[in-house]
């Protein structure tokens, strides 16, 4: 498969996966509040349970991808995530919803890291990888917007549960696209002594991450950010409803419109980042700047006097901050990782994300229940601010020159 074909196939797949997932989540976020009638604590606990699953599963599934196959890890991911989505659309009982979210999280870990490792090796061009990954993130925004419109329209025409089920079917079917469209010519699977090689890959990946200043910097910032992110991701729909989010026409119409606008803002931000991401020190500066934008957005949402101001805060956090930070952190870590342990190191990043969301989710869930959502979101803003300060005050210039050396290895 030619380089152009690899990049196009990867970006197209990312677009379709975002369509399915974003459409699913915009409807599910409302389904959990309206149909399932979950409390603030239950909403956060739901995310925490999923992240515990991710935390436990990230490293084993990352090692599987580096040992056996990146492509087939992604296929398994689609089957498991789609099944979790299907279950979600058929139940409203809290224990069943927790189980469905845990299954989705387990499935996610099979593609977390494997996707970046696959395109990096199959493309086999370190100078193009950063731009392809940024382009992937931008097209995910576009695919997500389409998904929100399509699945949101289905929810409006049928029901929230039906739309969630259809999104799950799309996710399962997309696994077939990976089977047919993804080659795996640049990866050599381990065929003998897989257990010993798996342990060796884990040790090499752990050693690389532990001894690399840039990777540890991203890990520290990610832990802080995700400790605050869980409160936003799970509570912003309830916060907007409490602020008087419009009920006519159906709330799903308004949530879909907000979601599409959020993705459009994120896509615009990524266009700007994509043109500059390979410049010296850009990753560090962009990361820090978007942390401060995210913190400000959380404060705006937390103390908004009305739903319009609350939506501005959502655009700042979900549209700009989370979108850019996630793209840059993946690129930054990918620059530092070597081919033989790339999926494993990306899984370490995913594990750090989950650790932050678990710790922050539990604390913020209890805090929101004991005090208010406003207090929880304000504390989240403080954590994200700390992450920006950590990156800004760290030694400069090491994410460019040293990184390029790592990629060349």
d(CA 192, CA 370): 54
**What parts of the chain have a pLDDT lower than 50?**
396-409
The 10 Å Cβ neighbour count of residue 308 is 11
What pLDDT sits at residue 24? 93
The 10 Å Cβ neighbour count of residue 98 is 17
Given the structure tokens 């696994």, which residue do they identify? 175
Distances (CA, A) of 407 to 11, 75, 103, 193, 402: 21, 27, 34, 28, 9
User: Maximum distance among all alpha carbons in the chain?
Assistant: 63
This prediction's pTM: 0.70
* Nearest alpha-carbon partner for 62 in 340, 343, 329: 343
d(CA 389, CA 355): 20
Written as six digits, the tokens of 123 are: 């493309």
Does the N-terminal peptide bond of residue 5 adopt cis geometry, omega within 30 degrees of 0? no
d(CA 283, CA 105): 28
d(CA 174, CA 17): 7
What pLDDT sits at residue 233? 80
**φ/ψ of residue 163, rounded to 5:** -65, -40
User: pLDDT tens digits, residue range 192-235?
Assistant: 666 677 788 888 888 988 888 889 999 999 999 988 887 888 78
Calculate the CA dihedral of residues 8, 12, 14, 17 and round it to 10 degrees. Answer: -160
Measured over the CA atoms of residue 48, residue 51, residue 53 and residue 59, the dihedral's sign is negative
Which domains are assigned to the chain? Answer: 3-179+205-408 (1.20.1250.20)
Would residue 397 be called left, alpha or beta, if left means φ above 0 and alpha means ψ between -120 and 50 degrees? left
User: pLDDT tens digits, residue range 113-141?
Assistant: 889 889 988 988 877 888 888 888 889 88
228-230-234 Cα angle (round to 5): 135
Written as six digits, the tokens of 199 are: 């342990």
* Nearest alpha-carbon partner for 319 in 299, 300, 293: 293
The answer to whether 107 and 80 are in contact (CB under 8 A) is yes
């Amino acid at each position: 498969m030619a380089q152009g074909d690899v990049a196009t196939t990867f970006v197209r797949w990312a677009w379709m996966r975002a369509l399915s997932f974003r459409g699913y989540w915009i409807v599910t976020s409302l389904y959990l509040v309206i149909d399932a009638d979950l409390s603030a604590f239950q909403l956060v606990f739901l995310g925490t349970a999923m992240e515990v699953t991710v935390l436990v599963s990230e490293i084993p599934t990352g090692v599987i991808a580096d040992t056996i196959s990146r492509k087939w890890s992604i296929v398994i991911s689609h089957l498991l995530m789609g099944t979790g989505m299907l279950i979600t659309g058929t139940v409203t009982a809290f224990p069943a919803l927790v189980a469905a979210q845990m299954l989705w999280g387990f499935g996610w870990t099979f593609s977390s890291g494997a996707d970046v490792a696959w395109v990096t090796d199959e493309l086999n061009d370190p100078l193009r990888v950063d731009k392809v990954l940024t382009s992937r993130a931008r097209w995910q925004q576009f695919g997500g917007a389409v998904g929100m419109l399509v699945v949101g329209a289905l929810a409006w025409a049928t029901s929230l549960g039906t739309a969630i089920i259809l999104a799950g079917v799309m996710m399962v079917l997309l696994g077939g696209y990976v089977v047919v469209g993804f080659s795996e010519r640049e990866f050599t699977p381990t065929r003998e002594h897989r257990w010993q090689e798996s342990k060796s890959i884990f040790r090499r990946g752990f050693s690389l991450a532990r001894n690399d200043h840039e990777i540890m910097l991203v890990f520290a910032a990610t832990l802080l950010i995700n400790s605050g992110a869980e409160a936003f991701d799970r509570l912003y729909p309830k916060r907007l409803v409490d602020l008087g989010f419009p009920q006519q026409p159906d709330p799903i119409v308004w949530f879909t419109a907000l979601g599409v606008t959020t993705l459009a803002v994120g896509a615009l931000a990524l266009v700007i980042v994509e043109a500059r991401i390979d410049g010296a020190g850009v990753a560090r500066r962009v990361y820090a700047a978007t942390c401060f934008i995210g913190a400000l957005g959380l404060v705006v949402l937390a103390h908004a006097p009305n739903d319009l101001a609350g939506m501005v805060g959502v655009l700042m956090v979900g549209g700009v901050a989370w979108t850019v930070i996630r793209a840059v952190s993946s690129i930054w870590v990918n620059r530092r990782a070597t081919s033989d342990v790339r999926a494993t190191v990306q899984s370490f990043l995913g594990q750090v994300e989950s650790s932050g969301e678990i710790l922050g989710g539990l604390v913020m869930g209890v805090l929101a229940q004991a005090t208010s959502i406003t207090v929880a979101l304000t504390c989240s803003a403080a954590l994200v601010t700390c992450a920006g300060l950590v990156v800004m005050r760290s030694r400069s210039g090491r994410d460019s020159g040293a990184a390029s050396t790592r990629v060349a290895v």
